[in-house]
Amino acid sequence: MSDVLKVRTVGIICKHDNPEACAAAGRLSAWLRERGVEPLVDQSAARCLSVPGTPKEEMPERSDVLVVLGGDGTLLSVARLVGARGKPIVGVNLGTLGFITTVALDQLYPTMETVLSGQYKVLERITLRASIKRDGKTIAQHHVLNDAVINKGALARIIDLDAHVDGRYLTTFKADGLIMHTPTGSTAYSLAAGGPIVHPAMSCIGVTPICPHTLTNRPLIVPDAAVLEVVLMSENEDVYLTLDGQVGFLLKYKDVVEVRASTHRMYFVMSPHEDYYLMLRTKLKWGER
Q: Would you state the pLDDT for residue 16?
A: 76
What is the C-alpha to C-alpha distance for residues 73 and 241, in angstroms, rounded to an integer?
A: 18
- What torsion do the CA atoms of 82, 86, 88, 90 make, to the nearest 10 degrees? 30
Q: Which residues of 68-96 are buried (b: 16+ CB within 10 A; e: fewer)?
A: bbbbbebbbbbbbbbeeeebbbbbbbbbe
Query: What is the rounded distance in angstroms from the CA atom of residue 1 to the CA atom of residue 86?
Result: 10
**Spacing of C-alpha 82 from chain mean position:** 11
3-state class of 259 per DSSP? strand
Task: Give per-residue pLDDT as tens, 225-237.
Answer: 999 999 999 998 8
Residue 289, in any domain of the structure: no
Q: Considering its fold, how many domains does the chain have in total?
A: 2
Whether 185 and 206 have beta carbons less than 8 Å apart is answered as yes
Residue 222 domain-assigned (yes or no): yes
Please say whether the beta carbons of 273 and 107 come within 8 A: yes
Q: What's the confidence (pLDDT) of residue 1?
A: 45
> Are both 114 and 157 inside the same structural domain?
no
State the Cα angle at 46 between 45 and 50, rounded to 5°.
125
Q: What is the CATH number of the domain that holds 236?
A: 2.60.200.30
Q: Give the pLDDT of residue 288.
A: 83
Q: Is 275 considered catalytic here?
A: no
Task: Indicate whether 45 and 160 sit together in one domain.
Answer: no
What distance in Å separates the CA atoms of residue 15 and residue 127, rounded to the nearest whole number?
23
> What is the β-pairing status of strands 147-152 and 159-165?
unpaired
pLDDT of residue 123: 93
Please give the DSSP secondary-structure letter assigned to residue 226.
-
Same domain, 66 and 42: yes
Taking the whole predicted model, whether its pTM rises above 0.95 is answered as: no
Is 288 domain-assigned?
Answer: no
Q: Are residues 250 and 150 in the same domain?
A: yes
Let me know whether 55 and 141 are in one domain: no
278 and 254, same domain (yes or no): no
Same domain for 202 and 174: yes
Same domain, 103 and 166: no
Q: Determine the pLDDT at residue 283.
A: 87
Domain containing residue 220:
127-264
- Residue 249 domain-assigned (yes or no): yes
Catalytic residue (choose from 3, 64, 72, 147): 72
| CATH number (domain holding residue 48) | 3.40.50.10330
pLDDT in tens, 156-204: 789 999 999 999 999 999 999 999 999 999 999 999 999 999 999 999 9
pLDDT at residue number 153: 84
**What per-residue confidence (pLDDT) applies to 102?**
87
Please list the ranges in the chain whose pLDDT falls under 70.
1-5
